[in-house]
Chain A
Amino acid sequence: MRIVTAYLIGLVFGLGISISGMANPAKVLNFFDIAGTWDPSLIFVMGGALIVTFIGYRLVLKRSGPIIEGGFQIPHSRTIDIRLIGGSALFGIGWGLSGFCPGGALPVLGTGNSSVVLFIAALLAGMLAARFMMRLAKDSRTASQAATIQIR
């Protein structure tokens, strides 16, 4: 049941991306090229998605929990740090260079487009590289904490 609903919800997302133009890097890049071949369409994608999600979340989150799973899993962190800002800044640079964002690219996999296969391969490599870096940083923090405790 949960696999079926997850698949169908992904399908609605994939159809939305396909209709919206987010699947087309040429269109996405033109949105960001105000000084050149500007195409403001993506404002309407963002607007449509935000209005529906804003209202929908308010209705759904009044419930005691989701229909299938145990509880709502919503990030509660309010920390705005260098990781959030630096990571987001890098994401924008990569988006501007490639024209694909992860949510725009995943549905395109279903068309067999060769550019998106290259993008996704590089995306996964970057995600894993970052994950390893974060793990190393955590390990060295834990190690230095352990060392500090020993010294005391």
Chain B
Amino acid sequence: MLTEFTPLQSALGGVLIGFSAVLLMLFHGRIMGATGILMGVIWPANTRDWAWRAAVVAGMASGPALYLALTGGFPDIHSPVSTPLLLIGGFIVGIGVTFGSGCTSGHGVCGMARLSPRSIMATLTFMATTFATLYIVRHLIGG
């Protein structure tokens, strides 16, 4: 399934993502990593720590509503994979980001912006295995 090339929109979205990462550091002194924030919600250290993380997640989930208010429609969301693949993939992502201590936001944006060697290695690794997985799924198996 083809998707439209949207360089300007994507760059604007990226700028907002970066802006939120900078604001979270400025106000709360924390890394804007979805994995770390979510882990603190489901496995809380204490109530005070839980509250700000839950608020960030609630804010994230309100993003599409703000998008709706600004543009008059929800963003395009189309999942082209089967339910079993979605579940297996989700479970593997959960294990991977926990052992790897981060995902696209924590390592790929915040860690790379700090030039952290761990985050640079993590990002290169997951980008490489994602490219490889797509190639195998779509061109070797899916053919």
Beta-carbon contact of A16 and B16 below 8 Å = yes
Beta-carbon contact of B13 and A53 below 8 Å = no
Partner of A37, one of B3, B58, B62: B3
Identify which of residues 42-90 in chain A touch chain B, using a CB-to-CB cut-off of 8 Å: 42, 44-54, 56-57, 59-61, 63, 65-75, 77-80, 83-90
| Number of A positions contacting B (CB below 8 A) | 116
Beta-carbon contact of B16 and A130 below 8 Å = no
Beta-carbon contact of A91 and B20 below 8 Å = no
Beta-carbon contact of A95 and B126 below 8 Å = yes
Residues of B within 8 A of A56 (CB): 18-19, 21-22, 25-26
Given contacts A21-B10, A77-B118, contact A94 B61 (CB under 8 A): no
What is the bound-complex CA distance between A119 and B103, given in angstroms?
Answer: 15
Residues of A within 8 A of B116 (CB): 75, 78
Beta-carbon contact of B99 and A99 below 8 Å = no
What is the bound-complex CA distance between A130 and B141, given in angstroms?
Answer: 29
Given contacts A69-B28, A106-B61, A131-B43, contact A87 B96 (CB under 8 A): yes
Partner of A20, one of B17, B29, B61, B107: B17
Identify which of residues 117-137 in chain A touch chain B, using a CB-to-CB cut-off of 8 Å: 118-131, 134
Beta-carbon contact of A74 and B31 below 8 Å = yes
Residues of A within 8 A of B56 (CB): 6-7, 9-10, 13
Residues of A within 8 A of B128 (CB): 89, 92
